[in-house]
Amino acid sequence: MENIKLGLEIEFRNGSNMSKYDLARYLSNATDMIVRDQGYNHNTTDYWKLITDASADLELVSPVLKFPQDLPAIKVMLDTLSSIDGVTVNRSCGVHVHISWLGMEINHVKNIVKRYCENESKIDAFMPESRRGNMNTYTKSLDDDTYMKNRIADAKNFQQLPSSYHDRFYKVNVTSFAKYGTIEFRHHSGTLDSAKVTNWIYFLVGFCQASKSLGKSFTTNFKARGRKVFKEIRQQVEQAGGKMVWAGNAPDQELGHQGKWNILDANGNVVKTFFNIELDRFYVPNTKQLNQDFISEFGALFPSSAQQLSLFSNVPTDAAQFLKDRAVALSGTQLD
Protein backbone atom coordinates (compact mmCIF):
# COMPACT_ATOMS: atom_id res chain seq x y z
CA MET A 1 0.00 0.00 0.00
CA GLU A 2 1.36 3.38 -1.03
CA ASN A 3 0.40 6.95 -0.24
CA ILE A 4 -1.67 5.97 2.80
CA LYS A 5 -4.09 8.65 3.99
CA LEU A 6 -5.97 8.86 7.29
CA GLY A 7 -8.99 10.62 8.65
CA LEU A 8 -9.66 10.70 12.39
CA GLU A 9 -12.87 11.40 14.33
CA ILE A 10 -12.61 11.74 18.12
CA GLU A 11 -15.91 11.86 20.01
CA PHE A 12 -15.90 13.33 23.53
CA ARG A 13 -17.92 15.16 26.15
CA ASN A 14 -17.21 18.76 27.01
CA GLY A 15 -17.63 19.39 30.73
CA SER A 16 -15.05 22.17 30.77
CA ASN A 17 -15.85 25.81 31.45
CA MET A 18 -15.19 26.62 27.78
CA SER A 19 -17.79 26.99 25.07
CA LYS A 20 -17.39 24.99 21.84
CA TYR A 21 -16.08 28.11 20.13
CA ASP A 22 -13.56 28.84 22.92
CA LEU A 23 -12.47 25.19 22.97
CA ALA A 24 -11.69 25.29 19.24
CA ARG A 25 -9.76 28.52 19.66
CA TYR A 26 -7.82 27.10 22.62
CA LEU A 27 -6.83 23.97 20.66
CA SER A 28 -5.67 26.13 17.74
CA ASN A 29 -3.48 28.30 19.93
CA ALA A 30 -2.06 25.42 21.98
CA THR A 31 -1.19 23.14 19.04
CA ASP A 32 -0.36 25.61 16.25
CA MET A 33 -2.88 23.71 14.11
CA ILE A 34 -6.03 25.28 12.72
CA VAL A 35 -9.15 24.13 14.58
CA ARG A 36 -12.49 25.66 13.59
CA ASP A 37 -15.83 25.61 15.37
CA GLN A 38 -18.52 24.38 12.96
CA GLY A 39 -22.03 22.95 13.00
CA TYR A 40 -22.59 19.28 12.24
CA ASN A 41 -21.38 18.44 8.73
CA HIS A 42 -19.62 15.73 6.71
CA ASN A 43 -17.38 18.02 4.68
CA THR A 44 -13.72 17.17 4.17
CA THR A 45 -11.51 20.11 5.14
CA ASP A 46 -7.82 20.97 5.20
CA TYR A 47 -8.02 21.87 8.91
CA TRP A 48 -9.26 20.29 12.14
CA LYS A 49 -12.91 21.02 12.90
CA LEU A 50 -14.93 20.80 16.09
CA ILE A 51 -18.55 19.80 15.44
CA THR A 52 -21.55 18.64 17.44
CA ASP A 53 -22.28 14.92 17.71
CA ALA A 54 -25.71 13.49 18.50
CA SER A 55 -24.52 10.29 20.17
CA ALA A 56 -21.68 11.78 22.25
CA ASP A 57 -21.48 15.58 22.59
CA LEU A 58 -18.68 16.96 20.47
CA GLU A 59 -16.48 15.48 17.76
CA LEU A 60 -13.00 16.58 16.73
CA VAL A 61 -12.45 15.75 13.07
CA SER A 62 -9.04 15.82 11.41
CA PRO A 63 -8.13 16.99 7.93
CA VAL A 64 -6.77 14.36 5.54
CA LEU A 65 -3.57 13.13 7.19
CA LYS A 66 -0.58 11.19 5.86
CA PHE A 67 0.60 7.93 7.40
CA PRO A 68 2.95 7.76 9.20
CA GLN A 69 4.14 11.36 8.80
CA ASP A 70 1.23 12.97 10.66
CA LEU A 71 1.10 10.65 13.67
CA PRO A 72 3.07 13.19 15.78
CA ALA A 73 0.40 15.81 14.99
CA ILE A 74 -2.30 13.41 16.21
CA LYS A 75 -0.38 12.91 19.45
CA VAL A 76 -0.03 16.66 20.01
CA MET A 77 -3.73 17.27 19.38
CA LEU A 78 -4.92 14.43 21.63
CA ASP A 79 -2.48 15.25 24.43
CA THR A 80 -3.68 18.84 24.36
CA LEU A 81 -7.35 17.89 24.33
CA SER A 82 -6.93 15.38 27.18
CA SER A 83 -5.17 17.99 29.35
CA ILE A 84 -8.30 20.18 29.51
CA ASP A 85 -10.20 19.81 32.79
CA GLY A 86 -13.71 18.52 32.18
CA VAL A 87 -13.06 17.01 28.75
CA THR A 88 -13.89 13.31 29.08
CA VAL A 89 -15.20 10.27 27.22
CA ASN A 90 -17.81 7.69 28.15
CA ARG A 91 -19.27 4.55 26.55
CA SER A 92 -21.30 6.63 24.07
CA CYS A 93 -18.08 7.99 22.54
CA GLY A 94 -15.93 6.36 19.90
CA VAL A 95 -12.82 6.79 17.76
CA HIS A 96 -13.37 6.42 14.01
CA VAL A 97 -10.47 5.97 11.60
CA HIS A 98 -10.78 6.40 7.84
CA ILE A 99 -8.06 4.84 5.67
CA SER A 100 -7.35 5.12 1.94
CA TRP A 101 -4.33 4.37 -0.22
CA LEU A 102 -3.16 4.74 -3.78
CA GLY A 103 -4.73 2.21 -6.14
CA MET A 104 -7.50 0.92 -3.85
CA GLU A 105 -9.16 -2.13 -5.42
CA ILE A 106 -12.49 -3.74 -4.64
CA ASN A 107 -11.00 -7.19 -4.00
CA HIS A 108 -8.55 -5.77 -1.47
CA VAL A 109 -11.35 -4.01 0.44
CA LYS A 110 -13.46 -7.19 0.35
CA ASN A 111 -10.49 -9.13 1.73
CA ILE A 112 -10.18 -6.63 4.59
CA VAL A 113 -13.84 -7.02 5.49
CA LYS A 114 -13.72 -10.82 5.25
CA ARG A 115 -10.59 -11.07 7.41
CA TYR A 116 -11.95 -8.56 9.94
CA CYS A 117 -15.08 -10.67 10.33
CA GLU A 118 -12.96 -13.78 10.83
CA ASN A 119 -10.96 -12.00 13.56
CA GLU A 120 -13.70 -9.86 15.10
CA SER A 121 -13.89 -11.79 18.38
CA LYS A 122 -10.11 -11.44 18.83
CA ILE A 123 -10.25 -7.70 18.14
CA ASP A 124 -13.17 -7.46 20.59
CA ALA A 125 -10.79 -8.80 23.23
CA PHE A 126 -8.78 -5.56 23.33
CA MET A 127 -11.90 -3.40 23.36
CA PRO A 128 -14.08 -2.56 26.37
CA GLU A 129 -17.15 -4.74 26.78
CA SER A 130 -19.34 -1.93 25.42
CA ARG A 131 -17.69 -2.31 21.98
CA ARG A 132 -17.85 -6.09 21.71
CA GLY A 133 -20.32 -8.12 19.68
CA ASN A 134 -23.51 -6.13 19.13
CA MET A 135 -23.33 -4.16 22.37
CA ASN A 136 -23.25 -0.81 20.56
CA THR A 137 -25.90 0.39 18.10
CA TYR A 138 -23.37 2.45 16.16
CA THR A 139 -20.72 -0.28 15.87
CA LYS A 140 -22.66 -3.43 15.05
CA SER A 141 -21.01 -6.76 14.36
CA LEU A 142 -20.56 -7.26 10.64
CA ASP A 143 -19.72 -10.91 11.26
CA ASP A 144 -23.21 -11.49 12.70
CA ASP A 145 -24.97 -9.88 9.72
CA THR A 146 -24.89 -12.45 6.92
CA TYR A 147 -26.98 -10.29 4.60
CA MET A 148 -24.57 -7.33 4.83
CA LYS A 149 -21.51 -9.58 4.53
CA ASN A 150 -22.91 -11.12 1.35
CA ARG A 151 -23.70 -7.70 -0.14
CA ILE A 152 -20.07 -6.72 0.31
CA ALA A 153 -18.69 -10.07 -0.88
CA ASP A 154 -20.84 -9.97 -4.02
CA ALA A 155 -19.83 -6.42 -5.01
CA LYS A 156 -17.92 -6.43 -8.30
CA ASN A 157 -16.90 -2.76 -8.03
CA PHE A 158 -17.00 0.06 -5.50
CA GLN A 159 -20.32 1.33 -6.87
CA GLN A 160 -21.98 -1.93 -5.79
CA LEU A 161 -20.91 -1.62 -2.15
CA PRO A 162 -23.62 -0.70 0.39
CA SER A 163 -23.92 3.10 0.48
CA SER A 164 -27.04 4.12 2.40
CA TYR A 165 -26.88 6.09 5.65
CA HIS A 166 -28.04 3.23 7.89
CA ASP A 167 -25.56 0.79 6.34
CA ARG A 168 -22.66 2.61 7.99
CA PHE A 169 -23.17 1.64 11.63
CA TYR A 170 -20.86 -1.36 11.65
CA LYS A 171 -17.40 -1.93 13.09
CA VAL A 172 -16.13 -1.75 9.51
CA ASN A 173 -17.99 0.74 7.34
CA VAL A 174 -17.69 0.51 3.55
CA THR A 175 -20.36 3.12 2.78
CA SER A 176 -17.69 5.78 3.32
CA PHE A 177 -16.15 4.88 -0.02
CA ALA A 178 -19.00 6.50 -1.95
CA LYS A 179 -18.43 9.89 -0.29
CA TYR A 180 -14.78 9.89 0.80
CA GLY A 181 -13.05 7.05 -1.04
CA THR A 182 -12.14 5.45 2.30
CA ILE A 183 -12.86 2.42 4.43
CA GLU A 184 -13.88 3.43 7.96
CA PHE A 185 -13.16 1.54 11.17
CA ARG A 186 -15.64 2.47 13.93
CA HIS A 187 -14.80 -0.30 16.40
CA HIS A 188 -12.60 1.55 18.90
CA SER A 189 -14.03 2.94 22.11
CA GLY A 190 -13.86 6.62 22.96
CA THR A 191 -10.45 7.70 24.22
CA LEU A 192 -8.24 10.78 24.45
CA ASP A 193 -5.14 8.62 25.03
CA SER A 194 -2.74 9.26 22.15
CA ALA A 195 -0.93 5.93 22.71
CA LYS A 196 -4.18 3.98 22.32
CA VAL A 197 -5.11 5.86 19.16
CA THR A 198 -1.71 5.67 17.46
CA ASN A 199 -1.27 1.96 18.22
CA TRP A 200 -4.79 1.33 16.89
CA ILE A 201 -3.87 3.17 13.69
CA TYR A 202 -0.68 1.11 13.32
CA PHE A 203 -2.77 -2.04 13.76
CA LEU A 204 -5.36 -1.00 11.16
CA VAL A 205 -2.79 -0.05 8.53
CA GLY A 206 -0.88 -3.30 9.07
CA PHE A 207 -4.13 -5.26 9.00
CA CYS A 208 -5.11 -3.66 5.69
CA GLN A 209 -1.67 -4.30 4.21
CA ALA A 210 -1.68 -7.97 5.22
CA SER A 211 -5.22 -8.44 3.93
CA LYS A 212 -4.18 -7.90 0.33
CA SER A 213 -3.58 -11.64 0.41
CA LEU A 214 -6.04 -13.58 2.54
CA GLY A 215 -3.74 -16.56 2.82
CA LYS A 216 -6.04 -18.71 0.70
CA SER A 217 -4.28 -21.67 -0.86
CA PHE A 218 -4.26 -22.30 -4.59
CA THR A 219 -6.53 -25.13 -5.70
CA THR A 220 -6.88 -27.40 -8.74
CA ASN A 221 -10.71 -27.20 -8.72
CA PHE A 222 -11.22 -23.45 -8.73
CA LYS A 223 -14.64 -22.36 -10.04
CA ALA A 224 -13.76 -19.34 -12.18
CA ARG A 225 -16.21 -16.70 -13.42
CA GLY A 226 -16.38 -15.14 -16.87
CA ARG A 227 -14.92 -16.17 -20.20
CA LYS A 228 -11.36 -14.83 -20.15
CA VAL A 229 -8.53 -17.07 -21.27
CA PHE A 230 -6.67 -18.76 -18.38
CA LYS A 231 -9.35 -17.45 -16.02
CA GLU A 232 -8.78 -20.30 -13.53
CA ILE A 233 -5.19 -19.17 -13.09
CA ARG A 234 -5.80 -15.41 -13.35
CA GLN A 235 -8.50 -15.26 -10.71
CA GLN A 236 -6.50 -17.31 -8.21
CA VAL A 237 -3.50 -15.02 -8.73
CA GLU A 238 -5.75 -12.01 -8.02
CA GLN A 239 -7.14 -13.75 -4.96
CA ALA A 240 -3.58 -14.12 -3.69
CA GLY A 241 -3.02 -10.37 -4.10
CA GLY A 242 -1.24 -10.43 -7.46
CA LYS A 243 -2.12 -9.89 -11.10
CA MET A 244 -1.63 -11.75 -14.37
CA VAL A 245 -0.99 -9.24 -17.14
CA TRP A 246 -0.75 -9.76 -20.91
CA ALA A 247 2.78 -8.93 -22.02
CA GLY A 248 2.40 -9.25 -25.80
CA ASN A 249 3.78 -11.70 -28.30
CA ALA A 250 7.43 -12.62 -28.21
CA PRO A 251 9.62 -15.15 -30.03
CA ASP A 252 11.23 -17.88 -28.02
CA GLN A 253 13.99 -20.17 -29.27
CA GLU A 254 12.29 -23.35 -28.07
CA LEU A 255 8.60 -22.41 -28.08
CA GLY A 256 8.41 -20.37 -31.27
CA HIS A 257 6.27 -17.24 -31.60
CA GLN A 258 4.24 -17.19 -28.40
CA GLY A 259 1.98 -14.89 -26.39
CA LYS A 260 3.34 -14.26 -22.92
CA TRP A 261 1.99 -13.22 -19.51
CA ASN A 262 3.66 -11.43 -16.61
CA ILE A 263 2.80 -12.53 -13.07
CA LEU A 264 2.90 -9.55 -10.69
CA ASP A 265 3.11 -9.74 -6.91
CA ALA A 266 1.12 -7.56 -4.49
CA ASN A 267 3.58 -4.68 -5.01
CA GLY A 268 3.34 -4.78 -8.80
CA ASN A 269 6.71 -6.46 -9.32
CA VAL A 270 7.07 -9.07 -12.08
CA VAL A 271 7.86 -12.36 -10.33
CA LYS A 272 7.71 -14.59 -13.40
CA THR A 273 6.75 -14.59 -17.09
CA PHE A 274 4.94 -17.49 -18.72
CA PHE A 275 4.29 -18.27 -22.39
CA ASN A 276 0.87 -19.54 -23.43
CA ILE A 277 2.13 -23.07 -23.94
CA GLU A 278 3.60 -23.11 -20.41
CA LEU A 279 0.28 -22.05 -18.91
CA ASP A 280 -1.51 -24.70 -20.97
CA ARG A 281 0.61 -27.34 -19.25
CA PHE A 282 -0.94 -26.44 -15.87
CA TYR A 283 -4.29 -27.82 -17.07
CA VAL A 284 -5.48 -31.42 -17.11
CA PRO A 285 -5.87 -32.13 -20.88
CA ASN A 286 -9.27 -31.21 -22.35
CA THR A 287 -10.59 -29.81 -19.03
CA LYS A 288 -10.65 -26.59 -17.03
CA GLN A 289 -9.10 -28.37 -14.06
CA LEU A 290 -5.58 -27.44 -12.98
CA ASN A 291 -2.91 -29.93 -11.97
CA GLN A 292 -0.48 -30.24 -9.06
CA ASP A 293 2.28 -28.54 -11.04
CA PHE A 294 0.18 -25.39 -10.89
CA ILE A 295 -0.08 -25.66 -7.09
CA SER A 296 3.68 -26.11 -6.72
CA GLU A 297 4.65 -23.34 -9.14
CA PHE A 298 2.26 -20.64 -7.98
CA GLY A 299 2.51 -21.58 -4.32
CA ALA A 300 6.22 -20.79 -4.60
CA LEU A 301 5.53 -17.47 -6.35
CA PHE A 302 3.05 -16.43 -3.65
CA PRO A 303 4.33 -18.07 -0.45
CA SER A 304 1.93 -16.07 1.75
CA SER A 305 -1.00 -17.71 -0.04
CA ALA A 306 -0.04 -21.03 1.52
CA GLN A 307 0.15 -19.57 5.02
CA GLN A 308 -2.57 -18.50 7.42
CA LEU A 309 -2.18 -14.84 8.31
CA SER A 310 -2.08 -14.07 12.01
CA LEU A 311 -4.08 -11.22 13.52
CA PHE A 312 -0.92 -9.14 13.86
CA SER A 313 0.67 -9.85 10.47
CA ASN A 314 2.34 -6.65 9.19
CA VAL A 315 1.66 -4.86 12.50
CA PRO A 316 4.78 -3.35 14.15
CA THR A 317 5.96 -5.38 17.15
CA ASP A 318 5.47 -2.56 19.68
CA ALA A 319 1.91 -1.87 18.51
CA ALA A 320 1.05 -5.57 18.54
CA GLN A 321 2.38 -5.97 22.08
CA PHE A 322 0.46 -2.90 23.23
CA LEU A 323 -2.80 -4.44 21.98
CA LYS A 324 -1.98 -7.89 23.36
CA ASP A 325 -1.45 -6.30 26.78
CA ARG A 326 -4.78 -4.50 26.40
CA ALA A 327 -6.51 -7.81 25.65
CA VAL A 328 -5.15 -9.32 28.85
CA ALA A 329 -6.13 -6.27 30.90
CA LEU A 330 -9.64 -5.87 29.44
CA SER A 331 -10.79 -9.44 28.83
CA GLY A 332 -8.13 -11.77 30.24
CA THR A 333 -7.45 -13.00 26.69
CA GLN A 334 -4.00 -14.11 25.55
CA LEU A 335 -3.61 -13.33 21.84
CA ASP A 336 -0.88 -14.89 19.68
Q: What is the secondary structure of 71-105 as a DSSP string?
A: HHHHHHHHHHHHTSTTEE--TT-BEEEEEEEET--
Residue 322's CB: how many other CB atoms inside 10 A? 19
- Cα–Cα distance for residue pair 107/332, rounded to 1 Å: 35
The pairing of beta strand 58-61 with beta strand 48-52: antiparallel
pLDDT surpassing 60 at residue 79 = yes
Residue 57 and residue 71 in contact, taking contact as beta carbons nearer than 8 Å: no
**Statement: residue 20 has pLDDT above 80:** yes
Q: How far is CA 177 from the centre of its chain?
A: 12
Annotate 260-271 with DSSP letters as a single string.
Answer: EEEEE-TTS-EE
Is pTM beyond 0.85 here?
A: no
Average pLDDT over residues 134-161: 91
Q: What is the pLDDT of residues 201-233, one digit of tens each?
A: 999 999 999 887 665 567 887 778 888 889 999
Bridge partner list, 35: 48
pLDDT digits over 151-197, tens only? Answer: 998 888 999 999 988 899 999 999 999 989 999 999 999 999 999 99
Local confidence band at 255 (pLDDT 50, 70, 90 cut-offs): low
139 contacts 132 by C-beta, under 8 angstroms: no
pLDDT band at 252 (very low <50, low <70, confident <90, very high): low
Look up residue 47 and give its DSSP letter: S
Average pLDDT of the chain to the nearest whole number: 91
Neighbours of 134 (CB within 10 A): 12
Helix (H, G, I), strand (E, B) or coil at 286: coil
> How far is it, in rounded angstroms, from Cα 205 to Cα 314?
8
CA distance 49 to 62: 7
pLDDT of residue 306: 45
Q: Which residues is 90 bridged to in the sheet?
A: none
Determine the residue type at 260.
Answer: K
For residues 24 and 14, the answer to whether their CB atoms sit within 8 Å is no
In the chain the domains, ranked by start, together with CATH numbers, are 2-211+309-331 (3.30.590), 231-306 (no CATH)
